Structure 1
Amino acid sequence: MSSEVKIGSSVYRYCDGNTDLKVLSTGVGAKAAANATDGVKAKLEVGVDLVNCESGGFKSRIGLNADTGGSIGPNGIEAKVVGVGFKLGREMGLSTPFGEVSFNLF
């Protein structure tokens, strides 16, 4: 079982298949999963970003967020409480309420 709902918007977006850059974006979402592929996951997301960029295995965002939730599965673990958290496993990263940075190692 897996479900996800997300609503978002951006003032400007550039996407070329490798890089996804969003400027002045907002988002609200919820995710839940419990299966062999995704593991166990529950997360609520609320944020306003000045800049949000994904390129290759690098992800970064600067803004305000209050993401809360956690996951454990074949790709690693993640935990966040009001924007403060970490990712360990295939993707390594740190989050604060003011920004986030992560790297995909594989």
Structure 2
Amino acid sequence: MEQQSEELDHHERAVVPGNVAETIATLRRMLAGLQAHSPLAAVVAASEVEKMGAGALQRAVTSARAEESWETIGRAMGVSRQAAHQRFAKVPFRG
């Protein structure tokens, strides 16, 4: 029972705020519209979003490592503990 409560606590802390979720949804719609009208511009825009996302994910994982296990980080990313660890463990941790 205690483990279930702990998992709920982790899940509650991982909920994306509404305004951020709305911005992500808007960006998806905008990229889809751009793709329909100007595919090459969509490539450029999606590439920039990918770079921004990769950097943001790296910083978020580095911050999360101060308090969270690889299991929890992997679950938040939708991957296994091993996959999260393999991808991010080599990055210097400043905790």
TM interval, short-chain normalised: under 0.3
Give TM-score, length-normalised by structure 1.
0.23
Give TM-score, length-normalised by structure 2.
0.24
Q: Which has the higher strand share?
A: 1
Instruction: Select the structure of larger CA radius of gyration.
Output: 2
Q: Which has the higher helix share?
A: 2
